[in-house]
Chain A
């Protein structure tokens, strides 16, 4: 099984619908991230969380919200989806601090492809 699991892997929805993308991890990491990937734009950070009580906006948080239900679970919601939110979404995790030689490497899920019609 994958260390970082995203569900659903693919979703097609209509404008105005509420959508939730879920991420769960078995790596025991405290830090979790949601990125959006668009062709030619690379990955852009939407939200990140250092622990259950610490959630922060990234560079493109408008139109999105998140919930950190537990150390291992981090969900991304689109309250009212719009077509320009059509993208590939990635969840990522990393270990906290510098112990064990941690260099900030991110571990990614396989992505959730969202299409908003």
Chain B
């Protein structure tokens, strides 16, 4: 079985500050991991994905995530937050039959 834990349901940063959104996973098979972003009144959009190639994955809008097997983590970072990054972020792990299990989400607020 697979599960995802996102630490912190709400993260608040200042514009220009580092963004760090935490995700830990549990998987009975080698994991494929995803980060999705949901802007207000929109569906989920893929930010990036880990597929057992490079452990440091770069995504859209300057985001990146590092897969750490020893820590069962896949944290999302961005060096400098922008107001347009305000959104809800979901981490997900792929399980059997390609089903995705999602975390509960982290709402990112960016303060001017």
Q: Which residues of A contact B (CB under 8 A)?
A: 4, 31, 35, 40-45, 48, 90, 92, 94, 103-106, 108-111
Indicate if the CB atoms of A42 and B104 lie closer than 8 Å: yes
For the complex, what is the distance from the CA of A104 to the CA of B94, rounded to whole Å? 7
Indicate if the CB atoms of B104 and A94 lie closer than 8 Å: no
Count of B interface residues, CB-CB < 8 Å: 21
Q: Which residues of B contact A (CB under 8 A)?
A: 9, 32, 34, 36, 41-46, 49, 51, 90, 94, 98-100, 102-105
A105 touches which of B34, B42, B104 (Cβ 8 Å): B34
Show 19 A/B contacts (Cβ-Cβ < 8 Å), sorted by A.
A31-B98, A35-B102, A40-B104, A40-B105, A41-B104, A42-B102, A43-B90, A45-B99, A94-B98, A103-B49, A103-B94, A106-B100, A108-B36, A108-B44, A109-B43, A110-B41, A110-B43, A111-B42, A111-B43
